[in-house]
Amino acid sequence: MRAQSLPVTPPAFRSEKSALLARAQGLAHPREVRPFLRELSQLTDEALRALWRDLALPPTLALVAVGGYGRGELFPSSDVDVLILLPNDCDPEADPALKSSLERFISQCWDQGLEIGSSVRTLNECLHESKHDITIQTALLESRCLCGSAELFAQFAQGFAKAMDAQAFFVAKQLEMQQRHTKHANTPYALEPNCKESPGGMRDLQVIRWVCQAAGLGGNWKEMARKGLANAFEARQLQRHEDQLGLIRIQLHLAAKRREDRLVFDLQHAVAKSLGLGTGEDGAFHARQASEALMRTYYWTAKAVTQLNQILMLNIEAQLHGQRSAPVAINARFLDRDGLIEVAHDQLYLAHPEAILETFWLFQNHPGIKGLSARTLRALYNARPVMDGHFRSDPANRAMFLRILQSPRGITHAMRLMNQTSVLGRYLWVFRRIVGQMQHDLFHVYTVDQHILMVLRNVRRFFIAEHAHEYPFCSQLASGWDQPWILYTAALFHDIAKGRGGDHSDLGAVEARKFCRQHGVGRAQTDLIAFLVAEHLSMSQVAQKQDLSDPEVIRAFARRVGDERRLTALYLLTVADIRGTSPKVWNAWKGKLLEDLYRFTLRVLGGREPDAMAEVETRKREALTQLALHALPFEAEKGLWSTLDVSYFMRHDAADIAWHTRQLSRVLADAHKQGQPVSPQVRARVSPLGEGLQVMVYTADQPDLFARICGYFDQAGFNILDARIHTASNGYALDTFQVVSWHEEHHREWIQMVEQGLTQTIAQAGALPTPGRGRVSRRVKSFPMPARVTLQPDERGQRWLLTISASDRIGLLYRIARVLAQHKVNLHLAKVSTLGERVEDTFLIDGAALQGTRSQIDLETELLDAVQAD
């Protein structure tokens, strides 16, 4: 500690602060936080007083610390907020000497390394501004006089306290908190949370302090406990969690070397290391483990803060406003108090643990109930010791939990509230292991527990008529499903074994069977739930990575599924799962692939074996029907269709066949009459799916055609979702692409640009350009994922399946296509799947370069080099 008897001089402030911050890098325990914050605040106090004294500012003025600094807490890179308080008869604009002194004081503060946020106001101005601006009022609430006129500051404090309307202040801060939570997506579980502003962050604790201080209910946690707002245990927990958040924030500022309150990916490793996390038994630092340990600590802390904030804010509201109406009995154990469930007595859960789950069943099944009262939340918080192994194995609790799952309404809200109050993880112990668990797979944007609850919500919405417009086909299937709770249970368990090592699908299926056995679920339902958990990834993998025009692919998937009921359930769970990973992962093209796979498989399960020739004839007839609407000449389709084989018609639906034919029939007829080759043709249209463009390319085939097209789309800012490559018998390529752009709202304007620009690119001769480096995101840099390239023959041994998994970046697909072109590999089908910041691309290929083992190894090696992050 610095010697307190020796006041710091302004020139020495920088060196003393640097020494203090250097020592702070060794802070690793929450109990060290408050002494550090006070010491930095005191150091700053002395420097400001010395400057004020050296400049001999008038004794009638007062220098006042406000905001967090006024609280006597200063973080390493926080602003030093001060108010220069003037008497009402003092006007710097009319007194040049005073104005010059004030300006010199402020400038010298900055010169000495005191990064102040300053305001200059008279006493009346302060009172007026605080009355009309909640931010100013909050800052002045925590003011303390550093030096100058104590009398003037006392007048200000008296006037401020007299003008304070505690009830209005509470309402304003509560609304402000709600708006702040909305800005941060109403969750403490963001992957890069703001440890100050996010729900469960430091600001949620400060709001409690502010409203209590304004109402005279205490300025610290112990005083609040004495006033009955919290009990002694809660007061200790509040202090503990405040210190934990403070420790993280201190290390964040030190790691960033600036004010940074977000736990961004770039800094998580450094903060974790400073806290002593991530050091293995071998003594080495393991960055990913350290980051996961840090974030789990943060999430658990933020979750507890959220719970305690809710309890205290409800208690403060009750003290300020009183109860609005007399409580109404729900049953012998619970009351309805102003729309909130309240326990009949504080010891209810300790005396009757089975009432814990009953709380959520009542919340779920009483439409007028909107939440839990402070008394109930406190009782739940204090009942955690009774939620033990006996509680979990109690037949009454198991029956009630199953009753909650099987309830026709409110499942999403009930499960979320159970998770928020920590009841879900304490009853379903296996769920507790994944609470706050990060997912470094580059496409999940939620922690595992939040993702599971998001998937549960998505499944539930399929069964609610008000949401039928979102995914009509899913809602149509759900309307015929008789036991929604089976899907809810599968959603609850589908990722519950994440992070254990091994296949989480198989491990999750084991946990699901155990749960069903313990809860008396029938054998048929148990088998279906376990099947859904074990296979929850299979449908998306087949739809996005395999050739759905291949009858054998559909047969194999039908054998895997077994029957229509399983197929429907798996389809609904798959759509809900993909939608629950990230807002960016789902798109209409993925929806079409899944729906196509569902419909194709349903036919096979219904006894209609795939018949390629019959299917081709059906599609031709449907295409001709559509062409008849456009007045094409008689048999105009023959010129194109005669050059196309069965695989083309199997890979394109009737609408695409009709569009290709309409665009090319006249071009081919004219070229035939003139005896000239067909020049490159590029046509684009708004995708029939409603997202992005569908682009058709018809040109003389060339080895590097796909690479050139990929290069153009990369440069033009388009992402390729799907590529269907076909070489006609006349040596022309007929390729179809589904592409999307960041500029979705202007996609019609891009059609002409794509048609002209891509035509010019195809016509260009010469070597393929060298790919650029391609920037990667901060998340990819912080949590790099190893690239993988696998090459294996398809099921019939006629072609090869190339699968590439890597971190996404600009130009990645062009790099892959360029390597394929250099090895003269023929491409038949490309399925490009972008999952957040990860890509999983699948290509159906053949070519002489694949015949020898050495050639295959060379190809895989070059592809791996191409997709590795620089």
Using CA atoms, how far residue 376 sits from 58, 325, 386, 451, in Å, is: 56, 17, 15, 27
Q: Which residues contact 267 (CB under 8 A, 6 or more apart)?
A: 252, 255, 256, 260
Q: What is the pLDDT of residues 757-790, one digit of tens each?
A: 999 999 887 778 777 665 655 665 655 667 888 8
Question: Cα(first)–Cα(last) distance of the chain, in Å?
Answer: 46
Contact criterion met (CB below 8 Å) for 245 and 194: no
Using CA atoms, how far residue 162 sits from 150, 155, 215, 217, in Å, is: 18, 11, 11, 16
Calculate mean pLDDT across residues 503-518.
96
* Banded pLDDT at 20 (limits 50, 70, 90): very high
Using CA atoms, how far residue 418 sits from 13, 24, 234, 579, in Å, is: 50, 38, 20, 23
Nearest one of 812, 667, 695 to 751, comparing CA atoms: 695
- Burial class for 380, CB neighbours closer than 10 Å (0-12, 13-18, 19+): buried
* Banded pLDDT at 791 (limits 50, 70, 90): confident
Residue 7 pLDDT exceeds 60: no
Contact criterion met (CB below 8 Å) for 665 and 640: yes
Residue 38 pLDDT exceeds 50: yes
Q: How far apart are CA 515 and CA 492, in angstroms?
A: 11
Q: Indicate the residue type of 463.
A: F
- Burial class for 671, CB neighbours closer than 10 Å (0-12, 13-18, 19+): middle
- Average pLDDT in the chain: 89
Q: Which two tokens stand for residue 273?
A: 């290391």
Residue 647 pLDDT exceeds 70: yes
For residue 847, what pLDDT is reported?
76
Q: Which residues contact 667 (CB under 8 A, 6 or more apart)?
A: 678, 681, 698
DSSP 267: H
Using CA atoms, how far residue 192 sits from 180, 199, 849, in Å, is: 16, 12, 45
Q: Indicate the residue type of 759.
A: T
Calculate mean pLDDT across residues 350-364.
96
Residue 410 pLDDT exceeds 70: yes
Q: Indicate the residue type of 111.
A: D
Residue 129, CB-side half-sphere exposure with 13 Å CA sphere: 16
Chain centre distance of CA 341: 31
Dihedral pair phi/psi, residue 339, rounded to 5°: 85, 10
- Burial class for 708, CB neighbours closer than 10 Å (0-12, 13-18, 19+): buried
Residue 4 pLDDT exceeds 50: no
For residue 556, what pLDDT is reported?
93
DSSP class per residue in 704-764? THHHHHHHHHHHHTEEEEEEE--B-TTSEEEEEEEEEES-GGGHHHHHHHHHHHHHHHHH-
- Please count the other Cβ atoms lying within 10 Å of the Cβ belonging to residue 695: 24
For residue 58, what pLDDT is reported?
92
User: Which residue did the predictor score with more confidence, 647 or 774?
Assistant: 647
Q: If DSSP states are collapsed to H, E and C, what string results for 289-352?
A: HHHHHHHHHHHHHHHHHHHHHHHHHHHHHHHHHCCCCCCEECCCCEEEECCEEEECCCCHHHHC
Dihedral in degrees, nearest 10, Cα atoms 652, 653, 655, 657: 40
Contact criterion met (CB below 8 Å) for 538 and 566: no
Dihedral pair phi/psi, residue 721, rounded to 5°: -90, -35
Residue 352 pLDDT exceeds 70: yes
Residue keyed to tokens 């901060």? 778
Residue 86 host element (H or E): strand 80-86
Calculate mean pLDDT across residues 50-62.
92
Calculate mean pLDDT across residues 55-67.
94
Q: Which two tokens stand for residue 754?
A: 């794509």
Nearest one of 592, 830, 831, 622 to 726, comparing CA atoms: 830
Residue keyed to tokens 């719970």? 307
Q: How far apart are CA 492 and CA 494, in angstroms?
A: 6
* Banded pLDDT at 290 (limits 50, 70, 90): confident
Q: How far apart are CA 201 and CA 188, in angstroms?
A: 8
Residue 744 pLDDT exceeds 60: no
Lowest mean pLDDT among 47-51, 372-376, 630-634, 707-711: 630-634
Nearest one of 247, 294, 250 to 268, comparing CA atoms: 294
Q: Specify which of 4-13, 513-522, 787-796 reaches the highest per-range mean pLDDT.
A: 513-522
Nearest one of 449, 511, 515 to 485, comparing CA atoms: 515
User: Which residue did the predictor score with more confidence, 374 or 806?
Assistant: 374
Q: Which residues contact 652 (CB under 8 A, 6 or more apart)?
A: 619, 660, 724, 736
Q: How far apart are CA 821 and CA 702, in angstroms?
A: 9
Q: How far apart are CA 616 and CA 806, in angstroms?
A: 36
Residue 399 pLDDT exceeds 90: yes
DSSP 185: T
Contact criterion met (CB below 8 Å) for 575 and 591: yes
* Banded pLDDT at 573 (limits 50, 70, 90): very high
Full-prediction pTM beyond 0.85?
A: no
Q: What is the pLDDT of residues 253-283, one digit of tens each?
A: 999 999 999 999 889 989 999 998 877 666 6
DSSP reduced 3-state for 476 = helix
DSSP class per residue in 122-173? EHHHHHHHHHH-HHHHHHHHT-EEEEE-HHHHHHHHHHHHHH--HHHHHHHH
Residue 656 pLDDT exceeds 90: yes
Nearest one of 768, 695, 703, 688 to 735, comparing CA atoms: 695
Residue 445 pLDDT exceeds 80: no
Contact criterion met (CB below 8 Å) for 121 and 129: yes
Q: How far apart are CA 197 and CA 255, in angstroms?
A: 19
Q: Which residues contact 162 (CB under 8 A, 6 or more apart)?
A: none
Q: Indicate the residue type of 723.
A: A
Nearest one of 623, 615, 664, 619 to 643, comparing CA atoms: 664
Nearest one of 23, 16, 201 to 114, comparing CA atoms: 16
* Banded pLDDT at 3 (limits 50, 70, 90): very low
- Please count the other Cβ atoms lying within 10 Å of the Cβ belonging to residue 163: 12
Q: How far apart are CA 263 and CA 515, in angstroms?
A: 36
Calculate mean pLDDT across residues 548-558.
91
Residue 619 pLDDT exceeds 80: yes
For residue 323, what pLDDT is reported?
64
Dihedral pair phi/psi, residue 244, rounded to 5°: -65, -45
Q: How far apart are CA 201 and CA 195, in angstroms?
A: 5
For residue 85, what pLDDT is reported?
96
For residue 830, what pLDDT is reported?
80
Q: What is the pLDDT of residues 104-157, one digit of tens each?
A: 999 999 988 888 999 999 999 999 999 999 999 999 999 999 999 999 999 999
Using CA atoms, how far residue 30 sits from 18, 26, 27, 460, in Å, is: 21, 12, 8, 41
- Burial class for 520, CB neighbours closer than 10 Å (0-12, 13-18, 19+): exposed
For residue 5, what pLDDT is reported?
43
- Burial class for 572, CB neighbours closer than 10 Å (0-12, 13-18, 19+): buried
Q: Which two tokens stand for residue 617?
A: 């004839």
Cα-based angle 777, 783, 784 (whole degrees, multiple of 5): 80
Q: How far apart are CA 602 and CA 231, in angstroms?
A: 60
Which residues make beta-bridge pairs with 332?
A: none
Residue keyed to tokens 């509470």? 170
For residue 170, what pLDDT is reported?
95
Q: Which two tokens stand for residue 413?
A: 């809200």
